[in-house]
Amino acid sequence: MFPLLLVGLSLGCGYLVEEIAGVRVGPVLVLPLGLCTIVTVSSLTVSLASTARLTTPLIVALAAAGFVLARRLHLEIWALGAAAAVFLVYGAPVLLSGAATFTGYIKLDDTATFLALTDRMMEHGRSLAGLAPSSYEATLAVNLGDGYPVGAFLPLGAAGELAGTDIAWLLQPYMAFLSAVLALALWQLARGVVGSASARAAIAFIAAQPALLYGYYLWGGVKELLAIALVATGVALLPEALERPRRYRGISVVIVVIALAASLTSLLDGHLLPPTSLPLTDSGAIGNLAGPLDPLQLAGIWPVGDFRFPADAPALTDLGIAIAITDPISAGPSPPLPSLGAPLPMSPSDDDLIDSPYWVIGWIVMASELEEWLVLFDPVTNEGKLPATS
């Protein structure tokens, strides 16, 4: 029910932008554009306490108007399939548990903070008037008072009010929906280089699941999932923006940029950076780091359980880099693989849960090298010719 509400609201708002502005973004990008419109419009309404309660009714009215004015209701089946598959992959940890819950075995207080911000913004905007001293009030004061960006939470709040369900149980479906939006944008991006719709669907399905992004999903990183979806959408919309007449050129991209700014900054409230960005403005601030990072850590994966501390065996990382870059049998540069800077397998520590990724990545290094040997010596795939070596 909730994901369908998000789909309906986003499609309706996307259709409305198309009809009013006279742009045609294509059936695949209508939904991502509509999501950007929701973020943009709701960010304006919640900026004032007097209009915050109008956010959900206004979004519903805009979506309804979009469906009424829309001249066509067409979807790309392969793109829709890729988005649905990505949604299921991201939602799998919760869906397979059989109950509404949160993902991940490590949770910070961010999720509780996000829920508190969403709850307050949908009714009172950034106003803290009338709140008695409490942990809830303190959480809001330190974030809303210092300009924490809230754009990423507003579609959740609007659709949650329509669903009539506590948004605590809708957070994970919402983030899975954002990953599906990313898949749609990636499908469109692949259109210029891949002719087959099914192949584009496979590309979008895989590309929408990078380990880092999935980790943010498990951790509860709402802003990160929305940001990458918006960036991909903006890039996918650029060709349309460059082809339209000058009067309407770029209006869709402008909406995406405003939505991105509302999700990552608080420009509407006079703040360029959120209150958590002190390391970007203070040369002495190091955030959660235990100390300044070793320059070698820029090379890639750091072979310790905690990235903040020195590696016990940095030579293993250097060896991984050497294998990935200076391959003696390759005809050209090694392909971009996860092996860059990866350590070779090492003895597990007492905490296998933390160190296990390094075992996996180490084996990827060796497996990728073995695969190159097999391909080079295969008379079918390489026509029996070995590349010249120096």
Residue 363 structure tokens: 């084996």
Which range scores top for mean pLDDT: 24-28, 249-253, 329-333?
A: 24-28
For residues 227 and 111, the answer to whether their CB atoms sit within 8 Å is no
Q: What percent of the chain has pLDDT over 70?
A: 66
> Looking at residue 388, what is its pLDDT?
47
Say what the pLDDT of residue 363 is.
47
Q: At 214, which amino acid appears?
A: Y
Each residue's pLDDT tens digit, 25-46: 888 889 999 999 999 999 999 9
User: Can you give the pLDDT at residue 311?
Assistant: 62
**Closest of 239, 230, 244 to residue 192, by C-alpha:** 239
pLDDT at 337: 39
pLDDT at residue 265 greater than cutoff 60: yes
More confident residue, 274 or 209: 209
The pLDDT-based confidence of 352 (bands split at 50, 70, 90) is very low
Tell me the pLDDT tens digit for each residue of 205-228: 999 998 889 988 988 889 989 999
pLDDT of 188 higher than 70: yes
**Per-residue pLDDT tens digits for 142-168:** 888 777 888 899 999 999 999 888 888
**Which of residues 14 and 315 earns the better pLDDT score?**
14
Note the pLDDT of residue 370: 52
